[in-house]
């Protein structure tokens, strides 16, 4: 029996019985075959397609477009995949890592993992998820699925995603544009807005006081006085007027 993620709608490939578990038409990847990812729980070792280093043993394997498992268990014995078992299959799209954890009937656990890029493998965005099984002509077994569940995070359509260069450009350009607008508005206000009375008084009060020396006798000269003008608003500067 195998868990699979494949094209939607799901269909049975031709010549996919017996060792191919109803998933693949042959043991080698084919451009004509629909892209499929499978996790097999194999109880019958096939000398033509199964790993040579686990002869006659049960195994759990991760398959990508082929019945030849890219990653598989190596320490299960014949008959270990029997009784009531449970399995967790997780896939992280960011790290592209698929992890399969199996809990056997006797409580032992086994885990395998594989790096799989669904996009590079040709798996479409809309897929069918389910289980498939097949048996040979001389060996028959019963596969009973007691319960299962599937969950996925919300996926964003690739067509709606903005290119990375555009995201970076907008992230830089928007703050600069906002800063430029604020600076322009501030400059315009400072040029056109007249000083509030309180500000003008404060500026005038900050001007230096005129000298207290008395003028010479017979001279009509006046002591210089300080006066702030509205043009000086915001820069706290005063002009001296005779």
Q: Where are the domains of the chain?
A: 2-137, 164-210+223-241
pLDDT the model gives residue 85: 95
CA distance 37 to 52: 22
Q: How far apart are CA 121 and CA 127, in angstroms?
A: 13
pLDDT at 177: 66
Residues of the chain predicted below pLDDT 50: 158, 195-207, 209, 212-242
Cα angle 36-40-43, degrees, rounded to a multiple of 5: 150
What whole-number distance in Å separates Cα of residue 31 and Cα of residue 4? 18
φ, ψ for residue 149, nearest 5 deg: -145, 155
Specify which residues 227 forms β-bridges with: 239
The encoded tokens of residue 188 equal: 């315009």
Q: Give pLDDT, residue 154.
A: 62
pLDDT at 220: 47
Q: What pLDDT is stored for residue 80 in this prediction? A: 94
Residue whose structure tokens are 């002869």: 55
Q: Residue 226: what pLDDT?
A: 45
Answer left, alpha or beta for residue 30, where phi above 0 means left and psi between -120 and 50 means alpha. Answer: beta
Fold of domain 2-137: Jelly Rolls (2.60.120)
Q: What is the pTM of this model?
A: 0.60
CA distance 35 to 107: 34
Radius of gyration of the chain (CA): 40
Looking at residue 50, its pLDDT comes to 86
- Region of 26 please: left (phi>0), alpha (psi -120 to 50) or beta: beta
């Amino acid at each position: 029996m195998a868990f699979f993620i494949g094209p939607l709608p799901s269909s049975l490939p031709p010549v996919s019985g017996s060792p191919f578990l109803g998933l693949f038409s042959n043991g080698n990847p084919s451009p004509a075959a629909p892209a499929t990812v499978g996790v097999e729980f194999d109880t019958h070792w096939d000398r033509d397609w199964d790993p040579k280093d686990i002869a006659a043993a049960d195994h759990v394997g991760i398959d990508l477009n082929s019945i030849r498992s890219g990653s598989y268990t190596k320490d299960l014995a014949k008959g270990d995949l029997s009784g009531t078992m449970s399995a967790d299959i997780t896939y992280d799209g960011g790290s592209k890592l698929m992890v399969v954890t199996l809990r056997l009937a006797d409580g032992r656990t086994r885990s395998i993992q594989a790096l799989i890029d669904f996009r590079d493998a040709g798996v479409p965005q809309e897929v069918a998820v389910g289980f498939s099984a097949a048996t040979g002509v001389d060996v028959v077994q019963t596969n009973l699925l007691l319960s299962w569940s599937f969950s996925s995070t919300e996926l964003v359509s690739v067509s709606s995603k903005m290119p990375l260069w555009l995201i970076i450009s907008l992230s830089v350009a928007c703050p600069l544009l906002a800063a430029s607008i604020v600076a322009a508005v501030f400059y315009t206000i400072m040029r056109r807005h007249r000083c509030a009375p309180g500000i003008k008084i404060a500026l005038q009060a900050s001007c230096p006081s005129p000298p207290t020396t008395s003028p010479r006798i017979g001279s009509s000269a006046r002591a210089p006085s300080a006066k702030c003008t509205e043009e000086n608003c915001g820069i706290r500067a005063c002009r001296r007027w005779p």
